[in-house]
Every structure is written in structure tokens, then in C-alpha cells.
Amino acid sequence: MASIFSRIISGEIPCYKVGEDEKNFAFLDINPVAPGHVLVVPKKEVDYLFDLDTDDYVSLQLFAAKVAKAIAKVMPCKRVGEAVIGLDVPHAHIHLIPINSEADMNFFKEKKQLSEAEMQHIADAIGAEL
Ligand code: AMP
């Protein structure tokens, strides 16, 4: 069975899409640690980020850098933090989170509740900078 992220990439499951290139796809995390929390995933379904072959890993990181720059243009923040966890969804992905302090990378914090309209607005605004 395809991973939930493969089903998002194929359009079977909706998401707040930020953008894509030939090999990679970006969308908002549905339970954001901070507004503008984006997941960047390879279209190829590989369980764990560090098991990607070199070309796909480099491609994903280069795409993540573009998305991070777009996030920084839209979301007020000092930096865009990058995290790899992968305990919940067995499809390689990178978390990109706008941050102002180390504490903003805390995944135990209560998740932000944003309206559908706010999520869509953020996804569109970041996507427009890509
Ligand atoms: P992890 O595998 O531990 O890196 O966490 C998976 C992340 O995927 C979590 O932050 C979830 O909120 C996020 N997530 C799970 N399902 C969806 C979905 N359908 N759309 C967007 N984000 C999701």
C-alpha cells in the first residue's frame, strides 16, 4: 500500500501544496509546530531519508533549500530550521520550520491550530516565492 505521502503526491488525498519539481514535493504539515511548517518529500517512496540514494538525497536537500528561502520571505523568522524525524510516516521527509529561537523546534509543543483559509493562504504565499 502506498504511503500517505505518496497518496498526497498523487492527489488522492488533499494537502496544502507549496510546490514541486521533477523529483520532489512540498506541502504544509497538517499539525504545524509553527505557522509555515512545511514537509519536503521525494516523490519516490523510500522509507527513511538517509536511505535515499545520493542523487535523490542531494536533489531533495537542494529543493528543501529553495523552499526554505521561500518560507523565510513569507513568514517572519530569524531562520528556517530543518529537522528529520520520520517516526510516524515511513516515507522520507524533511521538516522545515520558521524559527526565532531553539525552543521553536520543539515537537512536543502544542501544535498550532490554523483555519483552512490560513493554511491555504500560507501555502499559496510560500509557493508564490518558489
Ligand atoms: P514524522 O514521521 O515523525 O517526521 O512525522 C510525520 C509528520 O507528518 C507529522 O508532523 C505530521 O503532522 C505530518 N503529517 C501526517 N499526515 C499528514 C497529512 N495528511 N498532511 C500533512 N502532514 C501530515
40-85: per-residue pLDDT in tens? 999 999 999 999 999 999 999 999 999 999 999 999 999 999 999 9
The CB of 117 under 6 Å from ligand 1? The reply is: no
The model carries a pTM of 0.97
CA of 77 to the centre of ligand 1 (A): 22
Residue 37 designated active-site: no
Task: Give the distance, in angstroms, between the CA of residue 112 and the centroid of all CA atoms in the same chain.
Answer: 15
Which numbered atom of ligand 1 lies nearest the CA of 107?
Answer: 10
Q: Retrieve residue 26's grid coordinates.
A: 512540498
Active-site position among 91, 93, 95, 121:
93
Residues in the chain: 130
Which numbered atom of ligand 1 lies nearest the CA of 88?
Answer: 2
Predicted local distance difference test score (pLDDT) of residue 31:
95
Q: Residue 111: is its pLDDT beyond 90?
A: no
